[in-house]
Amino acid sequence: MSDRCYVSTRKGLFTVDRGASKWSISRVMFVGDNVTLTMHDPRNGNLLAALNHGHFGIKVHRSTDGAETWQEIAVPQYPPLPEGYTPKPHPFTGKPLDWALKLIWGLTPGGSDQPGVVWCGTMPGGLFKSENNGESWELNRPLWDDPKREDWGPNGAEFPGIHSICVDPRDSRHVSVAISTGGVWITRDGGKSWGPGGSGMRADYFPEEQMGDNNVQDVHCLAQCAANPEVFWVQHHNGIFRSTDGAASWTEIKDVKPSVFGFPVAIHPRKPDTAWFVPSTKDEKRCPTDGRVVVNRTEDGGKTFETLRRGLPQEYAYDLVYRHGLDVDETGNRLVFGSTTGSLWISEDGGDSWQTISSNLPPIYAVRFANS
């Protein structure tokens, strides 16, 4: 059970701890700085925080003492363009892709048998790997050099990006990543070779002929069940999809109220049929339906959903929750989510009820429990 979570915001990184009777903020670091994502590494307790300084670029800081002190470490860097090579302009932007780091969008520890390994997903679409806890990073060339990678599309930002990285607990060489916009890509040999995920997702914003192509799927978030890694859940631009065969095929979950649109998904670590979503009105509006913040939970693999609202604002609330803004702890009982309007909620009963930790934080980009 986790008694701590880390909240990455537009104006700093907050540590939230469970005291004897309640959760409260215990520390803020990087005050005023844009902390876009923080990873807690259960293998050694390390924290890696990604900062975006705007003018001064993207930086990575590491703490080895539970967020008390931090050291700036290496940042993933794109390699020089090969001689005579010009990146292919994407038809959406008409511009060649810039080989320069724009955002760190995914940070995931490697497997328990790979001490020091950290995977890092980025905009504009590069996947990086560190084998020394972030001391240095290397672009995964097999995925980057795949000709289909050049067709990945921009999302809300101007570039494609890798945001979800799932390391199979049975085999650390089996890694599944999700791209907005580029579907799901899978390696089974530690990144030496990659292939696209299976069919079944649907991009209804594309012409019919291309609607089922993995490469055009706008996956908002991909999650894998720790106890049954054959099961994946996806929150997609179009809705919710589930795979029970290791991402070889996907089934769409339809007719979910109040909406199938949203960004994050969290999956119960032991119960593959249980997952949580934070719905919002699709898709130009992107705010809670009717001004009510709710969490949707299924416990039967998507056949039915329960809309959870106890403790959450039910009028005039316009909180949007980003793809890294929801997390579940290692027990499956504790959940945390945070919003663009700086509200933070925690549940200790699987989402049945929620405590408001703050309504006054900066815009929240990511929340992560410190799991053991």
Partner 1 sequence: MATVRFTRNIQRHVECPTREVTGSTLRAVLDHYFQENEKARGYVLDEQGRVRQHMVVFIDGEMVRDRDGLSDAVEPHSMIDVIQALSGG
291 φ, ψ (degrees, to nearest 5): 70, 20
- CB nearer to partner 1: give 51 or 67: 51
Residue type, 139: L
Q: Count Cα atoms within 13 angstroms, Cβ side, for 248.
A: 5
Residue 75 CB, shortest distance to partner 1, in Å, is 6
Residue of 19, 20, 21, 55 interacting with partner 1 (CB under 8 A): 55
* Residue in the structure block whose two tokens are 């050291």: 71
Using the rule CB under 8 A, is 99 a contact of partner 1? yes
Stretch that binds partner 1, among 10-18, 99-107, 230-238, 291-299 (CB under 8 A): 99-107
The C-alpha angle 199, 171, 271, rounded to 5 degrees, equals 70
User: 87 near 81, Cβ under 8 Å?
Assistant: yes
Using the rule CB under 8 A, is 59 a contact of partner 1? yes
Residue of 54, 91, 94, 207 interacting with partner 1 (CB under 8 A): 54
Stretch that binds partner 1, among 6-14, 56-64, 165-173, 226-234 (CB under 8 A): 56-64
Residue of 6, 14, 23, 78 interacting with partner 1 (CB under 8 A): 78
Binding to partner 1 (CB under 8 A) within 100-129 occurs at 100-101
Residue 180 CB, shortest distance to partner 1, in Å, is 22
Stretch that binds partner 1, among 36-44, 76-84, 160-168, 172-180 (CB under 8 A): 76-84
Residue 73 CB, shortest distance to partner 1, in Å, is 11
55 φ, ψ (degrees, to nearest 5): -50, -40
DSSP string computed for 115-160: TT-EEEEEETS-EEEESSTTSS-EE-HHHHT-GGGGGPPP-SSSS-
Residue 57 CB, shortest distance to partner 1, in Å, is 6
Using the rule CB under 8 A, is 53 a contact of partner 1? yes
Using the rule CB under 8 A, is 75 a contact of partner 1? yes
Residue 32 CB, shortest distance to partner 1, in Å, is 9
Residue of 1, 31, 81, 227 interacting with partner 1 (CB under 8 A): 81
DSSP string computed for 322-347: -TBSEEE-TTSS-EEEE-TTS-EEEE
What are the beta bridge partners of residue 327? Answer: 336
In whole angstroms, what is the distance from residue 314 CA to residue 79 CA?
A: 49
Tell me, by CB under 8 A, how many residues bind partner 1.
Answer: 16
Residue type, 345: W
Computed on alpha carbons and rounded to an integer, the radius of gyration of the chain in Å comes to: 19
Using the rule CB under 8 A, is 77 a contact of partner 1? yes
- CB nearer to partner 1: give 87 or 195: 87
Using the rule CB under 8 A, is 137 a contact of partner 1? no
- Three-class SS of residue 31? coil
Using the rule CB under 8 A, is 56 a contact of partner 1? yes
Helix (H) or strand (E) holding 296: strand 295-298
Using the rule CB under 8 A, is 70 a contact of partner 1? no
Assigned token pair, 21: 């009777």
- CB nearer to partner 1: give 141 or 257: 141
Using the rule CB under 8 A, is 72 a contact of partner 1? yes
* Burial of residue 86 (number of CB atoms within 10 Å: 0-12, 13-18, 19+): exposed
Smallest Cα–Cα separation from 225: which of 245, 209, 207, 249? 245
Assigned token pair, 229: 């890694």
- CB nearer to partner 1: give 56 or 316: 56
Task: State the residues that interact with partner 1 by CB under 8 A.
Answer: 53-57, 59, 72, 75, 77-81, 99-101
